[in-house]
Chain A
């Protein structure tokens, strides 16, 4: 954990976003500190992706603030926010299918103009994802799902972000690939000191790599704490890690209540 724990790298305060009349996130507040991996867990429709989109400027919030190192950035254009060092690795890869792998990575560095450093960062990405180097001239659409996810993460790194917003990197990948991707995520955090906000449904892998975690339900943060604490929490085990508790009658109660309801 970082030393300057008092000024968070990213601070989201009371954020509200709408899809037309539907309120998708209802007053979310959270903090991410330099060097941390912070995970946001939640089921489908909890508002996790909306939260990331609102932070990265693809959606504008109705209320609330997003502060990066103390500067408010909510409502700015997405390219301005990328320039400030917040980059989102979107859900479901979203690579550029007909561009080569290398051109995809170059587009990650679109907002930068320091040629030498961009080249160095590309080598770094190739070090972490050797398969991308092997396939660098291939069209990205011809890569497998796992390789596309690697490319999406690599492309995000090319922006040299202060904070990387990862939206469900485990989506649609085999358990083995999920393990591989998360190993690399942890290495990037430890070796390159990349701060990350990780949105996941796969609570087990997410809590394994994260330092801190939040649980989101129906657009609200309902729980937050150190990752180890969350892992031990009964509610998390029951609802996100799939542990089964025996009730007094020796059967699983089908209508278990969550403590936050």
Chain B
């Protein structure tokens, strides 16, 4: 019985990590930049929703707030690329990394200034309800997180496999020069990918904040998600989710069966083992060019 509960709560956590990791990988694949502010995007998305819907803030209907938060974060992601990152084009990777780290700090302090540094929880229709099956008690929020993540993953899969824009996004990440030759507006596509990863981060944030409380430093979760992305194979979308699930599943079991304090080490331990044994991650897409 214990095990089922541990698995479900692990999977739910893993889904959130996986969605943040997905944001990392989306941007990395398309633009070869790592957005270290991805975790802070997640936090900001959650706080925008919280600011709209919570009773002590604006008290708007939940679904309206979610829609507006998603729209705002999409636009923010787009503008960030359009106004800032596009100007960094051709600069070294390090410059972009430092820029996004700094951006993360800025987002963190802005969120703190607006909504305060105290942990708050999102008043969402899925939080705080328990489901009982015989002896098993599951949080409604955890079940919903898993379902929503599955649906979102399915939608993203269909988008990348079927939609012309999705295929074009893949194409421009696989071969940027060829995408230019085919008349794909690569720069606009990059901005759209930033928008998409802002949206995915917002959904992750809403799920995370429904499950417990969130404060402006929650963005540091991004580091764990980054580890998840590397474990899954940086550059593979299914890999990002898989890595997230692995990290999510390991945590509750480590917390349950290991001495207190050691459980937090496990995600990084897996990361190190993975880097030694299989440096490209579990689901890596390595392509060599034929001449």
Contact = CB atoms under 8 A, between A and B. Distances in A.
Q: Do A and B bind each other?
A: yes
Interface of A: 56, 58, 77-79, 81-83, 87-90, 92-99, 103-104, 106-108, 110-111, 141, 143-145, 148, 155, 159, 172
A13 to B, nearest CB: 23
Contacts of B177: 58, 90, 94
B167 A107 contact: yes
A98 B183 CA distance: 19
Contact of A145 (B181, B185, B287, B291): B291
B291 A88 contact: no
A8 B167 CA distance: 36
Interface in B30-83: none
B193 to A, nearest CB: 16
17 contacts: A77-B185, A78-B180, A78-B183, A79-B180, A79-B185, A82-B183, A87-B181, A90-B178, A90-B181, A94-B175, A94-B177, A96-B174, A96-B175, A107-B168, A110-B168, A110-B182, A111-B182
Contacts of A111: 182-183
A129 B21 CA distance: 41
A94 B184 contact: no
Contacts of A148: 290
Interface in B154-169: 164, 167-168
A96 B285 contact: no
Lowest 7 CB-CB distances: which A-B pairs, in order?
Answer: A82-B183, A94-B178, A111-B183, A79-B183, A97-B287, A78-B180, A96-B171
A89 B183 CA distance: 12
B87 interface: no
B181 A110 contact: no
A11 to B, nearest CB: 21
B291 A83 contact: no
A106 B174 contact: no
Nearest to A112: B183
B170 interface: yes
B265 to A, nearest CB: 35
Contact of B167 (A83, A90, A106, A144): A106
B178 to A, nearest CB: 4
A87 to B, nearest CB: 7
A174 B256 CA distance: 63
Nearest to A97: B287
A148 B287 CA distance: 14
Given A96-B174, A97-B289, A58 B181 contact: yes
Contacts of A77: 185
Nearest to A141: B287
Contact of A87 (B183, B185, B287, B291): B183
Contacts of A88: 181
Contacts of A89: 181
Interface string B253-291: 000000000000000000000000000000001010111
Interface string B187-217: 0000000000000000000000000000000
A78 B185 CA distance: 8
B160 to A, nearest CB: 10
A260 B233 CA distance: 56
Contacts of B174: 96-99
A87 B180 CA distance: 10
Nearest to B165: A110
